[in-house]
Structure formats: structure tokens, C-alpha cells
Amino acid sequence: MTTTTTPSAPPSTPPAERATGKARGPGKREARWGMILAAPAFLHSLIWIGIPVIVALGLSFTSYDMVTSPVFVGFDNYANIFSDALFWRAMRNNLVLAVVGIPVSMLIALVLAVLLNRGVRGQSLFRTLIFLPHVTATVAVALIWLWIFAATDNGLANVALSFFGIDAQPWLNDPDTALPAVLVVTIWQGIGLKMLIYLASLQGLSPELYEAADIDGAGPVRKFVSITVPMLRPATFFVLVTSIVANFQTFDLIYVLTLGGPANSTTVITYQIYQTAFQQLRMGLATAQSVILLLILVALTILSRKVVGGTRGD
């Protein structure tokens, strides 16, 4: 094919080729270079995304332990998953983290964005500090929180509680407090990016709306509720969907903080996939779990594209 013959084509075109027909020559050359330039990235995504998805689909109907060859088992893996209490536990934990954590961090992010948009002194420093948790590696972040949630009296979380006269908590050592502790970390880490997206959208709002509201004598709360919030609806929807997608891919945090425990109280779907595949070597079952995760996230993304496509037609 062309790929093999042209990578070292001379940068200048022979004049003869330029002379013959404007429509065909350059157009053909353009098309050829389009293919050549796109080929590496395209082939890469084919090998590392396309083929793996197909292989995962195929393996999800087999039993495979990496020692003996895969054995076709039909829908057994999927049937197993639906009756697997642990998988549902993981799903439930993901949902708890999403349903409780995302609205809280979105609300905090929105308020912070509005405040930062006022242009008070030092706002760029504030913005940096609020965003830091997002750029820092989740493993590092998780280790810090591991120490903050130390069950001893001098873990920072317990120091803070004692300040309010509340007894020290076991945090990550207790099934009742472990998930709330994880939730706190996800909220803390999730605020920065949401704030940034809100801030970018706020800057796109026209000042005239606010000026008109000023003339009408609307107070700051009124302006926030009647102008800012409705105008930010597309951004809110975008933040919501990307947050849910990111939430379903929480892994590093759980791996470092809790290993899904205690008593599976903090396990999530990605952690179950990891456990099933790389600890138990039940590759067929694990790929079936990953296919379910894929279906959930693809459905969410398609839904969001439909809805956003509908609301953004201005």
C-alpha cells in the first residue's frame, strides 16, 4: 500500500505534477498524506482499544485461567455476575459515591467558581490551591489521606473531630465509617476540575444580563438563582456526566486506601475487575464484568451526547 512507499517523499513537488490538472494531482497527494499522517494513531487505537474490546467481548463468554485454553461457557459469567452479591456491593458503593459525592462537590465547585469570578485579590492563588488535588497523583493523594484517617488520636481527621468535642473514629478500619471516609476524599479531589469548568463557562456569560438585573434591582442571591444557575445548565450537565464516568473508574484510591475493605464495604467495580482478573485469574468472569462497565459508561455517554446536542442549539 501507499504507506510503505511514501514516508520519505521529497518535500518539494516536481513541477510537472503541479502542472497536470489542479483537481486531481494535489487532491490525491493530500489524500495520501492524510492516510499516512493518521495511520500511526489509528493503528495504535485499533491495537490497544479496538481489538481489546472485541477480545474482551469474546472472552466474556469463556472460562479462562491463563493456564489452560479458554472454554466456551455461554452466558454463565453474566449469570454469575447477576447473582454475585460482591459485584452488587461494588455497584452499590459506586452509586453511593456518585449520588452523594457528585452533587456535593458540584455545589461546592459552583459556589467557588462564582466567588472566584468576582476577581478578588489573590484569586489565582486560590484557584491553584483548589485545583491541586486534581493534578496530584491519586496514589500520593490516597497515601496522604491514609495518614489523615489514621485511627489514632493524632490522625488529622480525629484531631479535627476532637476540636468539636467528638470522639476519635476508627475511619478506614470500620465498615461503617470507611465508605464515608472514601467519600470525603472523592469530594475533595473532585471539586477542582468542576470549579474550573464552571469558571470557564461563567466567563462566557454576557455581562448585559447582569446589568439588566441590576437595573431591575435584583440582589446577588436572586441573580445567582435566576441568571447564573439557568445559564450554566449545559456546563452542569457536562460536569455531571463526566463526573459519573470518572466515578465509575475510581480505582487507585480504593487500592491504596482500603483494598476494598473492611468487609468489602468500600469495594468498587474496577476493584472487582482487578481482583477477579489479576488475583483470582478468572479472566472470563473479569472480562464479563468489564463488558458490563463498558456498557454502562457507553450508555451514559451516548445519552449525554443526545441531551447536550438538544440543549446546546443556540
Partner 1 sequence: MATETPTLPAGAEPISARGRKDELGSSSARGRRRRTNVLIWGVLAVVSLVMAAPFIWMFLTSFRTQEELGMADMPLLPSSWRWDNYLEALDAAPFATYARNSLLLAMGQATTAVVIGSMCGYALAKLRWKASGPIFGWFLLSLMVPFYATVIPAFFIVRYMPLFGGNNILGQGGTGWIDTWWALIVPAAISPFLVFLFRQFYVGTPTELIEAARIDGVGEFGIFARIITPLIKPGLLTVALLAFEAGWNNFLWPLLVTSSQDLRVIQVGISVFRQESATQFHLLMAGTTMAAVPMIVLFVVFQRYFVNGFVSSGIK
Chain residues 171-200 in contact with partner 1, contact rule CB under 8 A: 188, 191-193, 196-197, 199-200
Alpha carbon distances (Å) from 86 to 73, 199, 264: 21, 40, 8
Find the binder of partner 1 among 50, 103, 175, 219 (CB under 8 A): 50
How buried is residue 283: exposed, middle or buried, by Cβ count under 10 Å (0-12/13-18/19+)? buried
Those residues whose C-beta lies under 8 Å from the C-beta of residue 82, and which sit 6 or more positions away, are: none
Closer residue to partner 1 (CB): 153 or 176: 153
Q: Which stretch binds partner 1 (CB under 8 A): 24-32, 72-80, 82-90, 170-178?
A: 24-32
Helix (H/G/I), strand (E/B), else coil: 31: helix
How far apart are CB 74 and partner 1 at their closest, in Å?
Answer: 19
Residue 297 touches partner 1, criterion: CB under 8 A: yes
The residue from 135, 229, 263, 307 that contacts partner 1 (CB under 8 A) is: 135
Q: What is the DSSP string of 77-99?
A: HHHHHHT-HHHHHHHHHHHHIII
Instruction: Pick the closer one to partner 1 by CB: 53 or 71.
Output: 53
Q: Does residue 210 interact with partner 1 by CB under 8 A?
A: yes
Binding to partner 1 by residue 3, rule CB under 8 A? no
Q: Report the alpha-carbon distance of residue 145 to residue 166 in Å, rounded.
A: 19
Query: Which one, 200 or 225, has the nearer CB to partner 1?
Result: 200
Site for partner 1 in 212-271 (CB under 8 A): 214, 220, 234-235, 238-239, 242, 245-246, 248-249, 251-252, 255-256, 269-270
Contact pick of 3, 9, 24, 166 for partner 1 (by CB under 8 A): 9
* Angle between the N-to-C axes of helices 175-202 and 233-247, in degrees from 0 to 180, rounded to the nearest 10: 140
* Among 1, 19, 85, 120, contact with partner 1 (rule: CB under 8 A): 120
Contacts with partner 1 in 139-158 (CB under 8 A)?
A: 139-141, 143-148, 150, 153-154, 156
> Do you find a cis peptide bond into 52, omega within 30 degrees of 0?
no
CA dihedral 46, 48, 49, 55 (to 10 degrees): 100
Pick between residue 99 and residue 143 the one whose CB is nearest to partner 1: 143
**Which residues, 79 to 108, sit near partner 1 by CB under 8 A?**
108
Report the residue from 45, 212, 222, 307 that binds partner 1 according to the rule CB under 8 A: 45
Q: Which stretch binds partner 1 (CB under 8 A): 89-97, 172-180, 222-230, 294-302?
A: 294-302
Collapsed DSSP state (helix, strand, coil) of residue 217: coil
- What contacts 260, CB < 8 A, 6 or more positions away? 90, 254, 266, 267, 268, 271, 272, 275
